[in-house]
Structure 1
Amino acid sequence: MTEVDDLVDRIIAVFEAKGGEHYDEAVTQNEHAVQTAELARAAGASDELVAAALLHDLGHLLLDEHDDRPDFLERDLHHEDVAARFLSSWFPKAVTEPIRLHVDAKRYLCAVDDAYHSTLSPASVASLVVQGGPMDPDEVEAFRSLDGAAAAADLRRWDDLAKDSTLRSAPVHSFAPLLESLAEIDR
């Protein structure tokens, strides 16, 4: 087994250990991750963005932020930063930046798209408040100038759609070859 295989096995093990908890009222963390990645793939996204879609909420799992914690929506633990920092040692910025920016992308989209807010699930509406609410005009301009902002906005839209309890998703480990193709141990 190579170091890359070991890394990907460790990431998959986190999903297997903690991903069965509910992401929201409809789907588990694993179902949400896979649905987000499948939406990205169906949209023709790059391999890096598909990987970002799969891993975007890894920080929730690393922080052990799931449905058995009553304080989950009371404070922002910045799961996006936790995941991006964790993954940045092995994956390119084309994977980690959309992850790091996907919460800000929600705030951005709420500020620039009047219809977007109405598409959010109740849990996303609640977390938006904790995460700072819609961006102000200065924040919007700053966000637009960031590398990865457009990819993060795409990721965010898939994130919001990936909550369908009627879909049967592939297992997270089916994405192992993709992750292995993108990971580099000596980054």
Structure 2
Amino acid sequence: MKIGYARVSTDDQTLDLQRDALQAAGCERLFEDKAGGAKAERPGLGEAMAFARKGDVLIVWRFDRLGRSMSELVRLIGELDAAGIGFESLAEKIDATTAAGRLVFHVFAALAEFERNLTRERTHAGLAAARARGRKGGRRELSPEKQALIRASADRPPAEVCKALGISRSTFYKYAPSRADAAGASMLHTKRESQQ
């Protein structure tokens, strides 16, 4: 069975082009997602992969509809292959059910691994160069002025101070430890009361 999967990144984009291409390719069942962002959930993809059985072929309009990165694409196609499910991309005209298509994906997997290794090496080299210049990682210290404003804001709610200074709540409590202790004690007291 041919199973189609379509995805758009935002709600204002339309799936019509992908639907038409997948139906023209003979897909008997379509699964869809409207998901943006690298970590967005894709329930449609999960349903498609759960629905597919050995011998089925999952078809997408383009590679980037299945995986947002080369490594994710290779991982997903590896999962499909391990389950005996084929994969086809219409725009790139690659059919992973053929020997030539599988060869292309082995090349993709090697390129993805190469890319990961290069990124790792560049990161380590950059960190070593920064350490050699006396710089260390982590967030920068707040200016003495902002630190003083935090300490002087004992009567204001933390959310208000954070918004005014453009800082996170964790940064606020880092420079106002007495407020952090008070907040922790208050939470502990509330928890104990609810347990009684």
Normalised to the residue count of structure 2, the TM-score between the two structures is: 0.27
Bigger proportion of residues as strand: 2
Question: Radius of gyration: which is bigger?
Answer: 2
1 or 2 for the larger relative contact order (CA 8 Å, sep ≥6)? 1
User: TM-score, structure 1 length as denominator?
Assistant: 0.28
